[in-house]
Structure 1
Amino acid sequence: MPPVEFTSYYGRPIVKPPVWKWDIPAYLFTGGLAAGSSLLAVGGQVTGRPALRRAGRLAALGAVGASAVFLVHDLGRPARFHHMLRVAKLTSPMSVGTWILTVFGPAAGVAAVAEAAPWLPERGVPGLARRVLPPVGRGAGWVAAVTAPALATYTGVLLADTAVPSWHEAYPELPVVFAGSALASGAGVGLLAAPVRQAGPARRLAVAGAAVELAAVHRVETRLGLLSEPYRVGRAGRLLRAARLLTAAGAVGALVGRRSRVVSAVAGAALLAGSVATRFGIFHGGVASARDPKYTVVPQRERLDRRTADG
């Protein structure tokens, strides 16, 4: 057998670059925000912090609603989302993600509607709703929180399951990156919306989420050899450097802003902006690796050389 040579026709991409537009990285962010906010809400519910619970529930509903809009916009027609519910395929991240959204969305909606119970009239049917909604909301909040880890991480699995070189090779790290980013963005909501005396869980969530996100992104930028390069240069590199600065600043601000409403709010905004930059940076890094054939050809040659050396 003649030696195998991996080449590209006149430098054209070997892997077809993703055709996704801005709505997919936006979907990645809002899904993580919904997951982190629902965890924040149940933390406020358990510890008796109503402002934190309210902020988390309302943010979770708003974010998952935005996720549905972005996903349907990418699919082109709402019916395509509905058609994906005709099957449940555990080997397909998209199918699993569709069912996760289907469970999480209504639960987050019921929990958010329950926040309106105190403003309902006390007499008649609305009064009955006022008494029934809070316990129903507590149960729905727990359903959303239990589903939240899957919602936060399945998009990382979805990207890694493609043939895009820098996404596929980062399959161990991408779900961890997205989990940390989800926690940080949820904490950002709490720091922005809750008074400082109730923001203790949000501060702890901010530090934990930032630490997980920064560590996982560092591995993505250093562990993959040549395939880490797209995350360090160009648009992706600029976005991920900005994300690192914003996330670190948000975590530090969460710690030092224990008594300052302004510092806490600035820290929350930094965490949210850092989460946006992380999602867009990971997205653009993968797209760049698909467009340049060297990120497909060179790793193939290296794998062939290793197999040849191993006999």
Structure 2
Amino acid sequence: MVPEAEFGSYYGRPILKQPVWKVPDVPAYLFLGGMAGGSALLAAFADATGRPCLRRVGRVTASAASLASVGALVHDLGRPARFLNMLRVLKPTSPLSVGSWILAPFTGLAAGAALSDVTGRLPTIGRLAGAGAAVLGPAMATYTAALLADTAVPAWHEAHRELPFVFGGSALASAGAAGMIAAPAAQAGPARRLAVLGAGLELGASRLMLRRLGPLLSEPYHQGRVGRMHRAATVLTAAGAGLGAVAGRRRWLGVAAGVLLAAGSVTTRFAVFEAGRASARDPKYTVVPQRERLAARATDPAGADTLPE
């Protein structure tokens, strides 16, 4: 019998160069940036609805998470000057350049809003800074998905439609989790609802992403250590959402739900990151989709243009 074909490349070298981003620096950067963006939105809503404790939790979380996100990015880059060099120009066609210009002003605004809230000084400026951070919040929560999808890594690039919704939902869930953990139960209602909404969005978008990737490109999300991480993320997020939905004003249930949701959000980022690296290592995830596109163009040139590149 003819053995199954094994995909290879010249001299045993991979077709794609694996991402050189460090672990845990970059997965932490992905998670912290999302939590920061979602927390800025939660803080703005709490401010508008007269929930000062929840507002403070949201502002402090947004500030701390964004500063830690910058720290993780700088550590991955190796020198702070490399991050500052990315701010020398704004290149709209580069997700990395645009992301740097989202991260830098967001961090400054979030820090200003948190400082004002904690010290009680310059409340008007603090409120304006918080509103500015909230405006940038959705972009802060999702630009890292565009950053990954803009690469040639198959498990990221082919998921470009759903990945922003996965990251956005995860960001809302983690922001709501922080609110449930740190805010008084009497003011944590919006955090609970935001967490449940975000978890539902993350789980639904993740399921749709895997379905559209198909049996081949979804393999990295199901196999080995990455598969275990992805399943753990799903279980943690679903369990956290379930507890959050029934927690009400029972603080211990809210805290438990928040811990589960935060853990699920972290694990989601690690699973997506590692799935991308796994798909870059194996040539079949690059070769087979290319052959399928070539075959589709040969049989239907017009319809093949709609296939994902």
- Report the TM-score when normalising by structure 2: 0.92
Q: Distance in 2 between matches of 1:255 and 1:60?
A: 24
What residue is the counterpart of 2:270 in the other structure? Answer: 280
Aligned in 2, Cα 1:306/1:11: closer, same or farther, shift over 3 Å?
A: farther
Contact 2:177/2:258, CA 8 A, preserved across alignment:
yes
The residue type paired with residue 68 of structure 1 is V
Contact 1:180/1:208, CA 8 A, preserved across alignment:
yes
Contact 2:149/2:157, CA 8 A, preserved across alignment:
yes
What residue is the counterpart of 1:231 in the other structure? Answer: 221
Contact 2:56/2:118, CA 8 A, preserved across alignment:
no
The residue type paired with residue 91 of structure 2 is K
Q: Distance in 2 between matches of 1:8 and 1:83?
A: 36
Q: CA deviation at 1:111?
A: 0.5
Pairing 1:269–2:270 present:
no
What residue is the counterpart of 1:293 in the other structure? Answer: 283
The residue type paired with residue 179 of structure 1 is G
The residue type paired with residue 143 of structure 2 is Y
Pairing 1:255–2:245 present:
yes
What residue is the counterpart of 1:121 in the other structure? Answer: none
Contact 1:117/1:134, CA 8 A, preserved across alignment:
no
Q: Distance in 2 between matches of 1:64 and 1:187?
A: 16
Q: State the number of aligned residues.
A: 293
What residue is the counterpart of 1:60 in the other structure? Answer: 62
What residue is the counterpart of 1:50 in the other structure? Answer: 52
Contact 1:52/1:199, CA 8 A, preserved across alignment:
yes
CA deviation digits over 1:60-114, x for unaligned, max 9?
A: 1110111111111111110111111110000000000111012101100110001
* Structure 2: runs of 5 or more not aligned: 1-6, 302-309
The SS at the match of 1:223 is: helix
What residue is the counterpart of 2:154 in the other structure? Answer: 165
Moved segments of 4+, more than 6 Å: none
Q: Distance in 2 between matches of 1:235 and 1:36?
A: 28
* Structure 1: runs of 5 or more not aligned: 1-5, 119-129
Q: Distance in 1 between matches of 2:118 and 2:257?
A: 28
Q: Distance in 1 between matches of 2:242 and 2:51?
A: 23
Pairing 1:175–2:164 present:
yes
Pairing 1:149–2:150 present:
no
Q: CA deviation at 1:202?
A: 0.6
Q: CA RMSD of the aligned region, Å?
A: 1.3
What residue is the counterpart of 1:19 in the other structure? Answer: 20
Q: Distance in 2 between matches of 1:236 and 1:137?
A: 42
